[in-house]
C-alpha cells in the first residue's frame, strides 16, 4: 500500500482592518508563492500537488494555508532483512525503508557495533577485558574501559535486585559438573553440586569507580556475560541504527529482540512466544513497538535423565538445574534488562519471580510451567 502523507501548513493569519483591495491580495499571493518555492528549494517539502486556499470570514480575517498531497511522489516502504552469526548466535536485522541500499548500509552499522562489543566481552580472546579480569582473579585489579565497567556495575545491581539469581560470576562453575550432552546420565549429588558453585558470588566483585578497575576477590573466579551480553548488544545496535536515521526496525538476537517504530502498513510489530515443547512453533502472539523481548527456557539446551527434562539453567545457590518452569519471557523497554531478567525469574520460581516483576517499572513476564500452565504479570494481554 503506497504511503499517503498529507501536509497542512499554516503560513499566516492576517487581520484585515478594512476590505482588501485586489492588488493587495495579489501581493499576498506572490509572497505565499515565494515562501513555498523557498521551502521546496531547501528540501523542507517535496512538491507533488500544491493547493492554495484563502478563507475569509465575516470579520474580515483571512487564513492562508496550503496542502500537499504526496500520494504519488512517496516511494513505498518495505522491510529489508539481513542475517548473520555474531557472538556465537544467529542475529537478524530488519529495517523499514524505501531504499534497499540505504537500508543495508544502516544494518551494517548495527552489525559493526555488535562486532565491537563481542571483541570487548568475549571469553574466547586472551586479551579481551573479560579474560584479563578473569586471569587476574585473586591477584590484582584490572583497569577496564568505562563501557565494560558500567556494564559490570549494572549487572551487580541486577544481582542485588534478584538476590543473586542473576550472577555474572556464574562462569566460576566447574565445567565438569554440567556438560549437557548425551554422555551425562545422572545428576551430581547435592553436596558435590554445592561445592562446584562455591566461587559464584557477585559480592566478591570489587569495583573502583575512580580508578575504573575490576577485581575478583577469589582465585578461580570468572565472570561472563552470557546472561546479559546478547541483550546489551541488541540494545546498542538499535541505538546506533536509530542514530543513523532508522525510524523502524528489529534486532533479533536468537529470539531476544528489540523492536522500534512500526511496520510499513503502520501496524506494530507482531512477535511470537516460542512453544517450550517445540521451539519452531508459536505458543502465543503479541504486538509491540519500542519494546524488547527475551526468553529463557529448557527447550534450547537440556538433558534427559530417567525420562525427566533438566534445563541448562543452573541455580547458582544449589548448583542444580532449574525444574518446574519450561520458559520465561520478559517484556521490557530495554533489551539488556529483558535479557538479564529472564534467567533469574526462572530460577526464583513462579510466585517469587512474578512478585518481583510486579514491583518493577516497565517490565512484564510470561511464564509457562512444566504442565503448560500460563502465568503472567499484570498488564499482559496475549492472543
Task: Determine the pLDDT at residue 125.
Answer: 87
pLDDT at residue 340, as a whole number: 96
Tell me the pTM: 0.76
Residue 273 contacts residue 283 (beta carbons within 8 Å): yes
Q: What angle do CA 320, 326, 327 make, to 5 degrees?
A: 105
The DSSP code for 251 is E
Q: Rounded to whole angstroms, what are the CA distances from 283 to 95, 274, 295?
A: 26, 5, 12
* pLDDT at res. 220: 92
**Helix, strand or coil, per DSSP, at residue 18:** coil
For the cut 50, the answer to whether the pLDDT of residue 290 exceeds it is yes
pLDDT at 37: 41
- Short-list 320, 321, 319, 268, CA closest to 296: 321
Residues 202-222: what's their mean pLDDT? Answer: 96
pLDDT at position 317: 87
Per-residue confidence (pLDDT) for residue 84, from 0 to 100: 95
Supply angle C-alpha 319, 198, 162, rounded to 5. Answer: 65
Cα separation, 154 vs 219, in Å, equals 23
pLDDT tens digits, one per residue of 73-118: 446 899 999 999 999 999 999 999 999 999 999 999 999 999 999 9
Assess whether pLDDT exceeds 90 at residue 252.
Answer: yes
Per-range mean pLDDT, top range of 27-31, 316-320, 336-340: 336-340
Residue 193 above 70 pLDDT? yes
Q: Between 203 and 123, whose confidence is greater?
A: 203
Hey, which residues does 305 pair with through a beta bridge? 308
Residues 6+ apart with CB under 8 A from 372: 276, 277, 326
User: Under a CB-based contact definition with an 8 Å cutoff, are residues 11 and 41 in contact?
Assistant: no
User: What's the whole-number average pLDDT of the chain?
Assistant: 80
Q: Determine the pLDDT at residue 258.
A: 96
Q: How far is CA 372 from CA 75, 130, 276, in A?
A: 46, 38, 9
The CA-based angle 34-40-44, given to 5 degrees, is: 120
Region of residue 55 (phi > 0: left; psi between -120 and 50: alpha; otherwise: beta): beta
pLDDT of residue 203: 96
* Band of residue 182 on the pLDDT scale cut at 50, 70, 90: low
Q: pLDDT-derived band of residue 324, with 50, 70 and 90 as boundaries?
A: confident
* Residue 180: alpha-carbon gap to chain centroid: 28
Q: Please, which pLDDT band fits residue 53 given cuts at 50, 70 and 90?
A: very low
pLDDT of residue 311: 72
pLDDT reported for residue 372: 87
Number of H helices, E strands in the chain: 8, 18
Handedness of CA 106, 108, 112, 115 (dihedral sign): positive
- Helices marked H in the chain: 22-41, 100-121, 129-135, 146-161, 190-196, 229-243, 335-348, 350-358
Amino acid at each position: 500500500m503506497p504511503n499517503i502523507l498529507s501536509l497542512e501548513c499554516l503560513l499566516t493569519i492576517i487581520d484585515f482592518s478594512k476590505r482588501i483591495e485586489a492588488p493587495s491580495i495579489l501581493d499576498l499571493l506572490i509572497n505565499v508563492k515565494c515562501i513555498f518555492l523557498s521551502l521546496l528549494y531547501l528540501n523542507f517539502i517535496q512538491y507533488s500537488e500544491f493547493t492554495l486556499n484563502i478563507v475569509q470570514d465575516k470579520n474580515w480575517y483571512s487564513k492562508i494555508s496550503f496542502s500537499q498531497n504526496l500520494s504519488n511522489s512517496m516511494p513505498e516502504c518495505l522491510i529489508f532483512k539481513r542475517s548473520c552469526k555474531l557472538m556465537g548466535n544467529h542475529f537478524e536485522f530488519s529495517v523499514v525503508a524505501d531504499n534497499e541500499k540505504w537500508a543495508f548500509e544502516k544494518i551494517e552499522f548495527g552489525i559493526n557495533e555488535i562486532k565491537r562489543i563481542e571483541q570487548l566481552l568475549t571469553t574466547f580472546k586472551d586479551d579481551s577485558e573479560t579474560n584479563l579480569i578473569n586471569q587476574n582473579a585473586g591477584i590484582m585489579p584490572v583497569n577496564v574501559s568505562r563501557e565494560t565497567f558500567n556494564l559490570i556495575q549494572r549487572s551487580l545491581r541486577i544481582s542485588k535486585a534478584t538476590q543473586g539469581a542473576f550472577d555474572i560470576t556464574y562462569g566460576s562453575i566447574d565445567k565438569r559438573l554440567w556438560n549437557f550432552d548425551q554422555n551425562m546420565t545422572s545428576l551430581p549429588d547435592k553436596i558435590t553440586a554445592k561445592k562446584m558453585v562455591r566461587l559464584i558470588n557477585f559480592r566478591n566483585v570489587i569495583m573502583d569507580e575512580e580508578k575504573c578497575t575490576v577485581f575478583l576477590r577469589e582465585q578461580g573466579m570468572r565472570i561472563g556475560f552470557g546472561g546479559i551480553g546478547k541483550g546489551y548488544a541488541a540494545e546498542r545496535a538499535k541505538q546506533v541504527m536509530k542514530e543513523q536515521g532508522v525510524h523502524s526496525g528489529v534486532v533479533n538476537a536468537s529470539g531476544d529482540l528489540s523492536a522500534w517504530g512500526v511496520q510499513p502498513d503502520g501496524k506494530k510489530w507482531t512477535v511470537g512466544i516460542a512453544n517450550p515443547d517445540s521451539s519452531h512453533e508459536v505458543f502465543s502472539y503479541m504486538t509491540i513497538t519500542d519494546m524488547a523481548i527475551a526468553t529463557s527456557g529448557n527447550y534450547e539446551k537440556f538433558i534427559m535423565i530417567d525420562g525427566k527434562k533438566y534445563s541448562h539453567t543452573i541455580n547458582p545457590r544449589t548448583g542444580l538445574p532449574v525444574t518446574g518452569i519450561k520458559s520465561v519471557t520478559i517484556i521490557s523497554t530495554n533489551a539488556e534488562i529483558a535479557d538479564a531478567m529472564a534467567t533469574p525469574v526462572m530460577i526464583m520460581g513462579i510466585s517469587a519471580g512474578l512478585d518481583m516483576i510486579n514491583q518493577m517499572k516497565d517490565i512484564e513476564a510470561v511464564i509457562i510451567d512444566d504442565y503448560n500452565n500460563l502465568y503472567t504479570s499484570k498488564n499482559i494481554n496475549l492472543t
